[in-house]
Amino acid sequence: MTRTLLPVLTMLGALVVLWYLAVAPMNIRVALDQAERAGADVVPEGSVARRDVSVWRLMAQNGEHIRAGYDLNRPRLPTPAQVGQELWKTTGEMAMKGRAWSKRSLIYHGWITLKSTLWGFLLGTTLGIIGAVAIVYSRVADMSLMPWAIISQTIPIVALAPMIIVLSSQIGVEERGLPKAIISAYLCYFPVLVGMVKGLRAPEVSQLDLLRTYDASGVQSFLKLRLPASVPYLFTSLKVGIAAALVGTIVGELPTGAISGLGARILIGDQFGTPLAIWSALFAAAILAGLLVTLLDLAQRIALRRMGATP
Amino acid sequence: MSALGLALAFWIGAWLLNIWLANSRWRDTRAVRIAVPVLFGVTLLVLWEGIVRGLNVSPVILPAPSVVAQTFAASTDLLWVDFVQTVLKGALRGYVIGFVAAVLCAIAIDRSAFLTRGLLPIGNFFAALPIVGVAPIMVNWFGFDWQSKAAVVVVMVFFPILVNMVQGLRATDAMQRDLMRTYAASYTQTLIKLRLPAAMPFLFNGMKIATTLALVGAIVAEYFGSPTRGMGFRISTGVGSLSIDLVWAEIAVAAMVGTGFYGLMAWIEKRVTFWHPSQRN
């Protein structure tokens, strides 16, 4: 644990430093425009004249205004501290005031996204496991399904996302959760399918033969040998799958006028020109992904220990 | 209802034929291996056509595949313009830039075992994040044209390729590196003659994952603003103006490009890593 903790922290620290360094050149133009409007002297004058001057020269000529770039209301690139503040303002602070479920709180939007993600994850995992069982037990399914499962993942589903949303609303499903769940299930079923096929085929011939000498039926050898043997593979692909499901939900929220969910926050932040809202929604999505994967990792450790695996 | 009945009959017939083929004595020949999935795909299309015709589904909701094919043939010029804008300008340029950046970054970081240990968990985490969300930020930074799409693609393909390349560079074992040392090989020689070739299976793994991501990034970024051409632009405006058949034609292009791009990478992989156990039959 400590062997990786220190390097990870070093890398994260380096990233934050790089980020802070990048803020100055990214925001210098906005900062200079603002300073000029406030009456300060800026070289060269007028934002049109500055457009052809490189940011490095602007920074060298207007050293005293660089600091202003770190404290803008609508920065091109906010500082990590600004993003952190915004994140806290829309989660912890609102929760403490008892407004956790307000429409402006990221907890509410995160919950909407989480709900669709979990539905999609459930649907995708079920489809993936059923598909894997079919593929392992039936030659026809193996030969006809497997190539299409691979091809399905090379098709950019986002092209279909607006279609799925429009289709389901025309069929009469007004609830936005369903189309989003379908998109995330589409992204999530594949890792589960591939992992489960591998896992169900993991038992060796000698083990299957042993069960045959016990006169075990097909169902028995499935329940007592193939299924337990596939559990480590299942958990590994579930971790990939839940991250994919979250990506799917957010993609489903991005394209067409959704109003709730983290993806919708990104869209709204774009339309209203509030970069801080976009960045804080992005970070909330990252935190959500981290939480979900960690939870599954924990479940995997507990399940494998219960099943007698040595760590 | 007769169209639906015909489609159902075709479905059952194709199913029985597939079962027979898969259990026949030619089941391991190349022809059957290709025929079975193709038959399955054709059956899906026939079922789709049958349902749309038999149940009189409005073309605004779901056009039949034959209608989509007609639209496709009629508007190849338009589709080509969108293809150039989204795939050749946005996705491909971003893919190449992201690929070069990730490989160089991996080789640089690989010189320090300490940094590698720190990078792998972070890179894996970033690769799992919904990075498409940066699309509006990139459109804000780089404008409406292909540059912003390429930027989104760069960010999206960077982490999967980086993580796989770093792992690939660590794939040689101590024995092989020791052998190079007994030859008095320099760092560069070891890198070029031993470690880069050994990293290729890993690298191609990342590159294949990145093909779909590149298309996803280029298309989603167009939802946030683009010139009046491009696949994402056409899809979002097509949904709005109810020209659903054109949207499906666009989706067909996206599917073909995605499959073709992936297939191309798999083909190159086969030529480059012919020595790897997974490529030998």
Q: Is B136 on the interface with A (CB under 8 A)?
A: yes
**Mean pLDDT, to the nearest integer, of B103-129?**
86
Average pLDDT, chain B: 86
Map tokens 């939007």 to a residue.
Answer: A109
Do B102 and B161 form a contact (C-beta atoms < 8 A)? yes
Q: Which of residues 236-275 of B touch A (CB under 8 A)?
A: 236, 239, 244, 247-248, 250-251, 254-255, 258-259, 261-262
Name the CA radius of gyration of chain B, rounded.
Answer: 24
CB contact under 8 A, A7 and B118: yes
Average pLDDT, chain A: 84
pLDDT digits (tens, 9 = 90+) for A254-305: 766 567 888 888 888 888 888 888 888 889 999 999 899 899 989 988 988 8
Q: Is B152 on the interface with A (CB under 8 A)?
A: no
Residue B173 lies in a domain: yes
pLDDT of residue A175: 67
Do B239 and B201 form a contact (C-beta atoms < 8 A)? no
B46 and B88 in a common domain: no
B37 and B82 in a common domain: no
Query: Which residues from chain A sit within 8 angstroms of residue B261, using beta carbons?
Result: 154
Residue B118 lies in a domain: yes
Shortest CA distance to B248 belongs to which of B88, B82, B69? B69
Residue B155 lies in a domain: yes
ipTM of the shown complex? 0.82
User: Which of B52, B126, B139, B223 is the mutation pick for testing A, counting most A CBs within 10 A?
Assistant: B223
Query: Which residues from chain B sit within 8 angstroms of residue A267, using beta carbons?
Result: 136
pLDDT digits (tens, 9 = 90+) for B244-276: 888 888 888 888 898 899 889 989 988 888 888
B227 and B89 in a common domain: yes
pLDDT digits (tens, 9 = 90+) for A185-242: 988 888 899 889 888 888 888 888 898 899 888 888 888 888 888 888 888 889 889 9
**What range does the domain containing B212 cover?**
72-279
pLDDT digits (tens, 9 = 90+) for A153-174: 877 777 677 777 777 777 766 6
Residue B22 lies in a domain: yes
B113 and B6 in a common domain: no
B144 and B211 in a common domain: yes
CB contact under 8 A, B136 and A147: no
Classify A262 in phi/psi space as left (phi over 0), alpha (psi -120 to 50) or beta.
alpha
B124 and B159 in a common domain: yes
Total number of domains in chain B: 2
Shortest CA distance to B32 belongs to which of A140, A131, A152, A148? A140
Checking if the pLDDT of B1 tops 70, the result is: no
Under DSSP, the state recorded for B272 is H
CB contact under 8 A, B129 and A285: yes
Checking if the pLDDT of B281 tops 70, the result is: no
C-alpha B79, offset from chain centre: 19
pLDDT digits (tens, 9 = 90+) for B210-233: 888 898 889 888 888 888 888 888
pLDDT of residue A256: 60
Which residues does A179 contact at the CB level (< 8 Å), separation at least 6? A161, A164, A165, A167, A168, A169, A173, A252
Structural domains in chain A, CATH included, are 2-77 (no CATH), 106-306 (1.10.3720.10)
Alpha helices in chain A (DSSP H): 2-37, 47-50, 55-61, 80-90, 92-96, 106-137, 139-154, 161-171, 177-200, 205-213, 218-221, 227-253, 262-271, 275-306
pLDDT of residue A28: 84
The pLDDT-based confidence of A88 (bands split at 50, 70, 90) is confident
Question: From residue A272, how far is each of A138, A254, A275, B136 by CA, in Å?
Answer: 54, 15, 9, 12
CB contact under 8 A, B216 and A256: no
Shortest CA distance to A115 belongs to which of A162, A64, A180, A61? A180
pLDDT digits (tens, 9 = 90+) for B161-199: 998 999 889 888 889 889 999 999 999 999 999 999 989
* B55 Cα to chain A: minimum distance (Å): 14
Under DSSP, the state recorded for B84 is I
pLDDT of residue B24: 78
B91 and B207 in a common domain: yes
Residue B79's identity, in one-letter code, is: L
B45 and B104 in a common domain: no
Do B172 and B198 form a contact (C-beta atoms < 8 A)? yes
Shortest CA distance to B106 belongs to which of B154, B168, B155? B168
Residue B108 lies in a domain: yes
B204 and B103 in a common domain: yes
Which residues does A209 contact at the CB level (< 8 Å), separation at least 6? none
pLDDT of residue A125: 94
B227 and B142 in a common domain: yes
Structure tokens given for A290? 């981290």
Which residues does A42 contact at the CB level (< 8 Å), separation at least 6? A32, A35, A36, A50, A62, A65
User: Which of A6, A74, A154, A247 is the mutation pick for testing B, counting most B CBs within 10 A?
Assistant: A154
Of these ranges, A3-7, B80-84, B227-231, the one predicted with the greatest mean pLDDT is B80-84
Least confident of A111-120, B22-31, B169-178, B198-207: B22-31
The pLDDT-based confidence of A93 (bands split at 50, 70, 90) is confident
C-alpha B137, offset from chain centre: 24
Least confident of A243-247, A297-301, A306-310, B105-109: A306-310
Helix axes B113-128, A275-306, angle to 10 degrees: 100
C-alpha B200, offset from chain centre: 18
For position B89, which CATH number holds?
A: 1.10.3720.10
Least confident of A22-26, A73-77, A254-258, B266-270: A254-258
